[in-house]
Amino acid sequence: MGTDGREARGCPQKYVVKNYFYYYLFKFSAALGEEIFYITFLPFTYWNIDHSVSRRMIIIWSIVMYIGQVSKDILKWPRPLSPPVVKLEVRTDAEYGMPSTHAMAATAISFSFLIATMNQYKYPFELGLMAAFVFSTLVCLSRLYTGMHTVLDVIGGALISAVLLVLLYPAWDSIDHLLLTSPFCPLLSIAVPLLLCYNYPKLDYYSPTRADTTTILGAGAGATVGFWLNHQYAAPAYSGENLGFPLITGMTVVLVLARFFTGLFVILLTRQLMKSVVLGTLCYCYKFPISDLEARRRLEVEVPYKFVTYSSVGFTATVIVPLLHGLLGLI
C-alpha cells in the first residue's frame, strides 16, 4: 500500500490500495475474528451441524478469549507504531497488542472444530487439518496486513491458544458433562463470568477490552445456561450417535438456510431489543443521558449492559431459536 489519498475511516493516515485481492482477502479474514463471525458461525453449528461440537467450541472460545484479553492488559505491550505502519482499523487501536486475540480465537475455533468432529464424522482428516490451518493462518496474516499486530503478537496468540487446547482437551468431555448435568450449572455459569468481568484488570485509560471480554463471557454464559436447560428438559445431549455428515440434497440446503436466516434474524432482534432495554434502564437508574459515552464506559454501567445483552443473545440462540425452528417445522 502507498499514500496517495485513500483515507481509512477514523484513521489519520492516508493510503492507496495497490492490490485489491490482498486488501479484500485480509479485510475479510480480519472479520473472521470479530463479532460478526461469532454471532453467525457459532450459532450455525448449533442449529445445523452438531450440538456437542458447538458446546465445545463455545466453551473453549470463552476461556481462550478471556485469558487473551486479560493477558493484553497485564502485559501492556503496545501495538505497532503508526507511522511507519499503516493501520486499517481504529477501534481496537486503543487496546494493547500482545497477544493477538484474533490469532487466539481463530486457532481455538478452527482446531477445536477439527478435534470435536474428527471422531464423530467421516471426512478426510488431512482435509480438516488443512482447512483449520488455512483459516487460522488467514486470520493471523490479516492482523499483520492491517497493521494491528507484530509478528510476535500473532505467533504468541496462536501458541497460547494451542497450549490451552492441549491442556483442556483431556478434560473436554468431563467439563461438557458437568455443565450439562450439574444442578449448580446455571448459577455458576452466570456468577463466575460476572465476577471475572467486575474484577477485570484496571487500566490508566479506557480500552474496549473489558467491554469485549464481557460480551464474550456474557454470550458464553447465556449459551451454557441454554445447553443445561435443553439437556434437562428437552432432548438429552447423549441420546444420539453421529455417523457422518447428513446427505446434502436440495431440501437439506433449503432447511439449513431457513434455520440459519430465521435464527440470525431472531438473535439480531434480541440483541437490538436488549441493548435498548438494558441501556435505557441503566440510564434511568444512574441518571445520565443515553448519549453520554463516558458514563456508558463506567464499570457499573458497561458490565451489566454488555453482560445482560449478550447473555440474552446466547440464551436465545440455544433455547428460543431451536423452539422456533420446531414450531416452524424446520427441524
**Active-site amino acid positions:** 102, 149
H or E element at residue 302: helix 299-315
What is the rounded distance in angstroms from the CA atom of residue 318 to the CA atom of residue 331? Answer: 14
What is the rounded distance in angstroms from the CA atom of residue 131 to the CA atom of residue 240? Answer: 27
Contact 330, 255 (CB under 8 A): yes
H or E element at residue 158: helix 151-168
Nearest to 182 by CA among 229, 219, 220: 229
Distance of CA 144 to the CA centre of its chain: 20
Cβ atoms within 10 Å of 44's Cβ, excluding its own = 17
Largest interatomic CA distance in the chain: 62
